Amino acid sequence: MHELSLVANLFDVIERHVKEHKPKAVTRVRVQLGRMSGVVPELFETAFDTYKKGTPAENAALEIVVVPVKARCRSCRRIFRPTPDAFRCPHCDSDRWKLLEGTDIVLDKIEIEI
């Protein structure tokens, strides 16, 4: 259950943008969670709702976009989506690939009221 510390980190980033833009309020927060970032969206949401109280994002709506895992095969160069059960290139069966996305936790954008 590290979602709360992730949300604390999220608010550090939000805070920086609040300082810069000095909005009346933050109204929306959009976060991208990699399918393999180790984050449970429901727990992230609960942590967000707990943490936002008393912050400029007190009434902000949280939008979570789950980003699927994407990899590029190092043999045939094609892009595919590995799953825990099939960590091989479906095109050429190679197990040599590079992860492109699906493991990060990103604050994509915020909407503010000015």
Partner 1 sequence: MKRGTPPAPQTRAGRPAVSRARRKEILVREEILGTNRKVAAELRKRFEARGVLAVNMISSPGAGKTALLEALADRVKDRFRMAVIEGDIETERDAERIRRKGVPARQITTGGACHLEAKMIGKVFPTIPGNVELLFIENVGNLVCPASFDLGESLRLVLLSSPEGDDKPKKYPEAFLSADVLVISKADLFPHLPFDAARAAREALDINPKLRVFVVSALTGQGLPEFVDFLAARLAALRHA
Q: Hey, what are 13's tokens? A: 């980033």
In the complex, least distance from residue 43 CB atom to partner 1, rounded to whole angstroms = 11
Which of 28/78 has CB closer to partner 1? 28
Closest CA to 10 of 112, 111, 108, 113: 108
Residue numbers 53-92 binding partner 1 by CB under 8 A: 59, 84-85, 87-88
Contact criterion met (CB below 8 Å) for 73 and 100? no
Q: Is 49 in the site for partner 1 (CB under 8 A)?
A: no
Beta strands 70-73; 97-101: pairing state: antiparallel
Amino acid identity for residue 7 in this structure? V
Per CB under 8 A, residues contacting partner 1 are 1-2, 5-6, 9-10, 12-13, 17, 21, 23-24, 27, 31, 36-39, 59, 84-85, 87-88, 95-96, 99, 103-114
